Structure 1
């Protein structure tokens, strides 16, 4: 078995009423995937092409959108194949690769949100030091850490998972996430503690840091004029909305695998679909509408497209 592990097929058993709703699944997923690509690529292109958006805050937003594109491209094409196939299976090695990209891109978001909160803290609380503190080198370092650190830590977890012997070959999910831990013959204590280390290091610690910086921001702005408080609310509220939604969905991902909660299949499917849809699709919408400078360029682009369509 160990010698043939890389050729093992794993059945994805999280789909509900597949035969009955196969084409509905496909149309919905394809529509959502196209919207995700269009909205996130629009945000990336706007930030790339407009010099007034070449600021740390917008660069981090573009990085979040890039993560959403990677995250979705890792999951959606395989889902298209699954919903149209009579059997929903994946080779073990391909499952591990999806697992790696899923978690490295997802956990990277928390570090990017941490970088954004630090950027807002320096901008609002120490405006005179902002050009020096948040220089180009700082932005490059923060982006490198946000992408490199999760990739390294998740790579170790992926290798450890791939070496575990499997006694079951049917997951309760629709893609390869922590549900594959339930397939192992024996629970690895080291793997459990290492997973806990990753969760604390790349999820809990960034969330605590983000909440701490925003509390400091609100304390500082409380004693300033209404204009400063309004500006802080405009730039910080989108980040907090994204953080709240992403934290809740990440918590669900941990609960179903680590605590092995016995949830109905339909509940698991709905929550898995929310993970697939909510952040990748609504993050660019939230930032596009809430961030005034981005929204201004989006409206301008929309008017140009309408004008060209009339001609």
Structure 2
């Protein structure tokens, strides 16, 4: 049985090796970025929770979206900030697997939440008379659980399979742990066959979710073209969703393309930027996009700010 268990207890992250002369500056910028991510996401979450007028499916899903953003960034920023001040960039074997679980489940949950949001907008615009019966409290709870629990268990399965692979190197050329990179450290490629199969099944599942989102918005656009009222609803509530989807897909696609096809000759700084895009841009931009675009949230936040100034 020992042949199936990794003897490595610590991983060394080499992604920061080229930033020795700029550690403090990078630390300050990263801390500022993380604090701003916490501020904008918590502001939206607290606003939605405290305002009973915002206890509607669309806003509850947005709250879920922001909570997931905090979950994903918490799996990266504290450890990264610690590494910036530490001479040795190491992480325990179990800690590495947990971080990989958080990173992947966060990304998959984001896509699942966007799929549920697309379904919510489809019902709201195409079947308005049935909206409250279709998007009932019970169904909303089920959809939120689906968007969180399903990705977690799918990624946990991938991580469990990785934990059974015997590894021959403790060096990870990234800023954080990534399941696909850990699997590449396997002593025997034959050991990773099942990992590859499950990984491709996971990709197919989430590609289908992406296709569902695209199909939903294509249908919505078709329905809204000839209706001024529906067009107004689409511009108000669907454009932020589409913007979030585009940001998510672009950042994830860049990272996947870099992992699969990127050259090792590319500067480490560029590879680092591509790797952390999905942990910087979506969690930072999504609350701002929704906060400025959705009238109820914008008015509520402006009202609180005006009250405090007075």
| Fold match (TM-score > 0.5) | yes
* Equivalent in the alignment of 1:246: 248
For these two proteins, the number of residue pairs brought into alignment is 305
1:270 aligned to 2:255? no
- Out of 273, 285, 292, the position equivalent to 1:289 is 292
- Give yes or no for contact 1:179–1:256 (8 Å, CA) kept in 2: no
Distance, in Å, in 1 between the alignment partners of 2:65 and 2:306 is 26
Segment of structure 1 superposing worse, 260-269 or 91-100: 260-269
* Equivalent in the alignment of 2:83: 82
Segment of structure 1 superposing worse, 233-242 or 298-307: 298-307
- Out of 192, 197, 204, the position equivalent to 1:200 is 204
* Equivalent in the alignment of 2:53: 52
Segment of structure 1 superposing worse, 116-125 or 174-183: 174-183
Query: Which SS does the other structure have where 1:14 is aligned?
Result: coil
TM-score w.r.t. length of structure 2: 0.93
Residues 250-270 of structure 1, C-alpha deviation per residue, up to 9 Å, x if partnerless? 223333334465343122111
Distance, in Å, in 2 between the alignment partners of 1:154 and 1:228 is 38
Residues 88-120 of structure 1, C-alpha deviation per residue, up to 9 Å, x if partnerless? 111111000111111112211111111100000
Query: Which SS does the other structure have where 2:88 is aligned?
Result: coil
- Give yes or no for contact 1:221–1:228 (8 Å, CA) kept in 2: yes
Q: Please tell me the root mean square deviation across aligned C-alpha atoms, in Å.
A: 1.7
- Give yes or no for contact 1:113–1:210 (8 Å, CA) kept in 2: yes
Counterpart mapping for 1:193-232 below 5 A: 193-201=197-205, 203-225=206-228, 227-232=229-234
186 and 7 in structure 1: CA distance in 2 versus 1, 3 angstrom threshold: closer
TM-score w.r.t. length of structure 1: 0.93
Query: Which SS does the other structure have where 2:148 is aligned?
Result: helix
Gaps of 5+ in 1: none
Counterpart mapping for 1:28-67 below 5 A: 28-67=29-68
- Give yes or no for contact 1:6–1:91 (8 Å, CA) kept in 2: no
Gaps of 5+ in 2: none
Counterpart mapping for 1:151-166 below 5 A: 151-166=152-167
- Give yes or no for contact 2:258–2:274 (8 Å, CA) kept in 1: no
Distance, in Å, in 1 between the alignment partners of 2:6 and 2:127 is 55
Distance, in Å, in 1 between the alignment partners of 2:167 and 2:217 is 44
- Give yes or no for contact 2:66–2:283 (8 Å, CA) kept in 1: yes
